[in-house]
Amino acid sequence: MIDARVPYTLPIRGLQDGMHSFAYEVDRVFFATFPDSPVQEAAIQLAVQLDKRPNLLVCEFSFSGTVVTPCDRCLATIQLPVQGHNRLLVKYGEAEDDPEDEDVVYIPRETSLWNIAQFVYEYILLAVPMIKTYNCTEDDPPPCDLVTLARLESAPATEASEAPERNPIWDALKDWKKD
């Protein structure tokens, strides 16, 4: 079996200067190549626009699709929509310690193949929201676990206005003043 990251290798040495387009389908096979990936299943369309210049590569990553994840509200398996657009600058030469160039990647001038799989992986993970929920009532049938949602709604709400039990030791210290 070939490594799923191989198709994400761009032949930058043989490319002419100018715009180049690459299209990919990112799925579970891609994410399986990354150990401990929080995404196991996905269906994402990725378009990469590469603007090759004599001393610089400008990569535009645009993607949209879904990742399969448990819902943070009801724990049902949902297909969470994700999308993103990221720009990456790649310069030839040695890395410089310029704090303004944090988003610049440096590669040796003699590099003929450049793999973008790690960048694709990170950009997609950054597009997954921290709270993994969405309005699943629009789906037919809704994927939500209705039993869990009913339990959440019927659970007694905790009163934020309830005063916590007071400890007399802390009350005495509160009145203590330094001279």
pLDDT tens, residue by residue, 101-154: 667 899 998 899 999 999 999 999 999 999 888 776 677 677 777 777 777 777
Q: Is residue 109 part of a domain?
A: yes
Q: Is residue 171 part of a domain?
A: no
Answer whether residue 160 shows pLDDT above 90: no
Q: Is residue 164 part of a domain?
A: no
Neighbours of 172 (CB within 10 A): 9
Higher-pLDDT residue of 161, 86: 86
Q: Is residue 127 part of a domain?
A: yes
What range does the domain containing 15 cover? 6-154
Q: Is residue 31 part of a domain?
A: yes
- The residue with tokens 């040695």 is 94
Integer Cα distance of 36 and 82 in angstroms: 20
Integer Cα distance of 8 and 4 in angstroms: 8
Q: What pLDDT is stored for residue 65 in this prediction?
A: 97
Average pLDDT, the chain: 85
Integer Cα distance of 137 and 34 in angstroms: 33
Residue 9 near residue 2 (C-beta atoms within 8 A):
no
Q: Is residue 170 part of a domain?
A: no
Q: What pLDDT is stored for residue 99 in this prediction?
A: 59
Per-residue confidence at 157, pLDDT binned at 50, 70, 90?
low
Q: How would DSSP label each residue in 139-169?
A: SSS--S-HHHHHHHHHSPPPPTTSPPPPPHH
